[in-house]
């Protein structure tokens, strides 16, 4: 029986008990909470387990609050039932935790990675990422990548440049979450220090096409869950908006995966759990997790369909040129203000003017502008663009692709 919660000592005893319990409950390949590594040692004793503490810190970050108004796929639509980024990360967390529970992995680590994995996404989703990458190249910066920016926000920029001092395992999972790259199986790429993480960051920054692999099985699960969470949900959104019908889905895919988001998620999750039971997994760096061949092939075909009929459709891209012009105009405007009259930027631009001296050293004006724009919500981006005279894109009707839906 647990002692009464009446002292810090009792709380720490409970923490130690929870950590010991993980040794028996979790799989031998799971990441144990007591093994969490932080960049900076913390003096204050905390009774929460390491990765649960990280999940709480991410939830309380300012960057997490801004998820609420960031595009997933469809932008500027008058329809409250279309997915935004905030729902996507919650879906990833729930799907990944379900997989992790059956594989006896660390659900706190899974949740922390999932909640933080898209924090670096700029306004207007992957289009915004492409625009910002091009602008960065033009200004002598490495091309913008949202996974690297997610790590920057949480590790360096939040709390006026102090960051949240998250664990190595959480930051690695966020960096390596790439759900866009198709993979039948993921094999661990273990790391043991922040020096190794920093090298992974640098290599990815210089070579965006480089395929990073997570250091933990929990990171692998989140990466797979990222794809599972968006592939069917994006189809449902496209159907709501009249871009496709359910009958348009490839028959070979629907026969194996189903034709609704619910059945697609269920079948993909079931395949992973059935194929990767904890009792049948090797230990250490030999560990891999993924889909069976037939399911992986069907998922790959469905991704191709989504890209051709949804993500790259002319209707989806209709407002992209206008958004791109706003990106370039805002970047140039802020850069000019920083270089000529930073006092005119105002209180809304705290990331560029209210940062710690430690971050200020070696922090170029171009980097400040990149980071500020990357952190914007869609609405704030539009307001700022309109304020400097940009022609901003209008809101589109709830059904704007070709035909009215009942």
Domain shared by 336 and 204, yes or no: no
Whether 234 is in a domain gets the answer yes
**In this structure, what are the phi and psi dihedrals at residue 142, rounded to the nearest 5 degrees?**
-60, 150
Taking the C-alpha atoms of residue 163 and residue 159, their distance in angstroms, rounded to an integer, is: 6
Whether 196 is in a domain gets the answer yes
Per-residue pLDDT at 359 exceeds 80 = no
Out of 1-10, 217-226, 298-307, 390-399, least confident range? 1-10
**Pick from 282, 311, 340: which residue ends a domain?**
311
Whether 327 is in a domain gets the answer yes
Taking the C-alpha atoms of residue 372 and residue 352, their distance in angstroms, rounded to an integer, is: 7
Maximum pairwise Cα distance, the chain: 66
Q: Which residue has the tokens 């309380």?
A: 60
Domain shared by 188 and 126, yes or no: yes
Greatest mean pLDDT range, 45-49, 161-165, 173-177, 180-184: 173-177
Taking the C-alpha atoms of residue 96 and residue 218, their distance in angstroms, rounded to an integer, is: 8
Whether 273 is in a domain gets the answer yes
Domain shared by 259 and 239, yes or no: yes
- Which whole number is the average pLDDT over 257-274? 97
Out of 166-175, 272-281, 334-343, least confident range? 272-281
Q: What is the CATH number for 52?
A: 1.10.3210.10
Q: Please give the pLDDT value at position 406.
A: 33
Tell me which residue of 102, 77, 85, 207 sits closest to 150, measured CA to CA.
85
Taking the C-alpha atoms of residue 90 and residue 72, their distance in angstroms, rounded to an integer, is: 13
Domain shared by 306 and 330, yes or no: no
**Pick from 311, 344, 378: which residue ends a domain?**
311
- Which whole number is the average pLDDT over 209-219? 94
Q: Please give the pLDDT value at position 357.
A: 65
Out of 173-182, 223-232, 314-323, least confident range? 173-182
Question: SS3 of 206, please?
Answer: helix
Tell me which residue of 33, 18, 11 sits closest to 107, measured CA to CA.
33
Per-residue pLDDT at 386 exceeds 80 = yes
Q: Please give the pLDDT value at position 339.
A: 86
What is the per-residue pLDDT across 84-108, written as a single tens digit (0 to 9) for each? 999 999 999 999 999 999 999 999 9
Angle in degrees, 0-180, between the axes of helices 217-240 and 261-275, rounded to the nearest 10: 160
- Which whole number is the average pLDDT over 241-253? 96
Q: Please give the pLDDT value at position 344.
A: 65
Whether 406 is in a domain gets the answer no
Whether 326 is in a domain gets the answer yes
Domain shared by 251 and 332, yes or no: no
Q: Please give the pLDDT value at position 405.
A: 39
pLDDT band at 401; cut points 50, 70, 90: low
Domain shared by 255 and 361, yes or no: no
Q: Where are the beta strands (DSSP E) in 270-390?
A: 288-290
Number of domains in the chain: 2
**Pick from 280, 311, 342: which residue ends a domain?**
311
Domain hosting 336: range is 320-387
Q: Please give the pLDDT value at position 353.
A: 58
Cα 168-170-174 angle, rounded to 5 deg:
115
Domain shared by 287 and 372, yes or no: no
Q: Please give the pLDDT value at position 400.
A: 53
- Which whole number is the average pLDDT over 378-393? 94
How far from each other are the two terminal CA atoms of the chain, in whole angstroms? 58
Domain shared by 299 and 327, yes or no: no
- How many helices and strands (H and E) does the chain possess? 19, 2
Domain shared by 341 and 378, yes or no: yes
Domain shared by 278 and 354, yes or no: no
Percentage of the chain beyond pLDDT 70 is 88
Whether 113 is in a domain gets the answer yes
Taking the C-alpha atoms of residue 179 and residue 405, their distance in angstroms, rounded to an integer, is: 31
Per-residue pLDDT at 7 exceeds 90 = no
Tell me which residue of 188, 309, 328 sits closest to 243, measured CA to CA.
309
Whether 87 is in a domain gets the answer yes
Domain shared by 216 and 335, yes or no: no
Domain shared by 190 and 276, yes or no: yes
Q: Please give the pLDDT value at position 404.
A: 43
């Amino acid at each position: 029986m647990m002692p009464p919660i009446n002292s810090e000592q009792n709380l720490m005893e409970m923490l130690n008990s929870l950590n010991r319990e993980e040794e028996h409950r979790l799989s031998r390949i799971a990441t144990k909470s007591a093994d969490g590594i932080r960049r900076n040692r913390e003096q204050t004793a905390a009774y929460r387990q390491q990765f649960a503490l990280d999940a709480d810190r991410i939830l309380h970050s300012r960057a997490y609050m801004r998820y609420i108004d960031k595009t997933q796929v469809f932008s500027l639509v008058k329809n409250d039932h279309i997915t935004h980024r905030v729902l996507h990360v919650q879906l990833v967390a729930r799907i990944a935790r379900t997989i992790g529970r059956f594989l006896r992995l660390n659900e706190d680590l899974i949740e922390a990675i999932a909640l933080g994995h898209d924090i670096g996404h700029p306004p207007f989703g992957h289009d915004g990422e492409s625009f910002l990458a091009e602008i960065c190249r033009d200004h002598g910066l490495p091309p913008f990548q949202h996974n690297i920016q997610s790590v920057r926000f949480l590790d360096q920029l939040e709390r006026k440049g102090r960051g949240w001092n998250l664990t190595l395992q959480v930051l690695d999972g966020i960096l390596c979450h790439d759900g866009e790259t198709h993979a039948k199986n993921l094999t661990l790429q273990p790391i043991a220090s922040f020096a190794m993480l920093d090298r992974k960051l640098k290599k990815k920054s210089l070579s965006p096409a480089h395929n990073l692999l997570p250091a933990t099985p929990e990171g692998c699960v989140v990466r797979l869950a990222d794809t599972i969470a968006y592939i069917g949900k994006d189809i449902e959104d496209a159907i709501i908006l009249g871009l496709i019908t359910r009958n348009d889905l490839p028959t070979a895919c629907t026969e194996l995966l189903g034709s609704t988001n619910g059945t697609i998620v269920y079948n993909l999750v079931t395949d992973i759990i059935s194929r990767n039971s904890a009792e049948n997994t090797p230990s250490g760096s030999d560990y891999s997790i993924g889909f069976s061949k037939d399911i992986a092939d069907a998922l790959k075909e469905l991704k191709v369909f989504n890209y051709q009929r949804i993500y790259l459709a002319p209707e989806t891209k209709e407002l992209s040129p206008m958004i791109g012009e706003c990106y370039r105009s805002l970047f140039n405007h802020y850069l000019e203000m920083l270089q000529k009259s930073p006092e005119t930027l105002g209180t809304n631009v705290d990331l560029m003017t209210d940062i710690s001296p430690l971050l200020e050293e070696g922090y170029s004006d171009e980097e400040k502008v990149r980071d500020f724009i990357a952190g914007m919500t869609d609405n704030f981006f539009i307001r700022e663009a309109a304020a400097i005279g940009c022609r901003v894109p209008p809101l589109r009707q709830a059904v704007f692709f070709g035909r009215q839906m009942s």
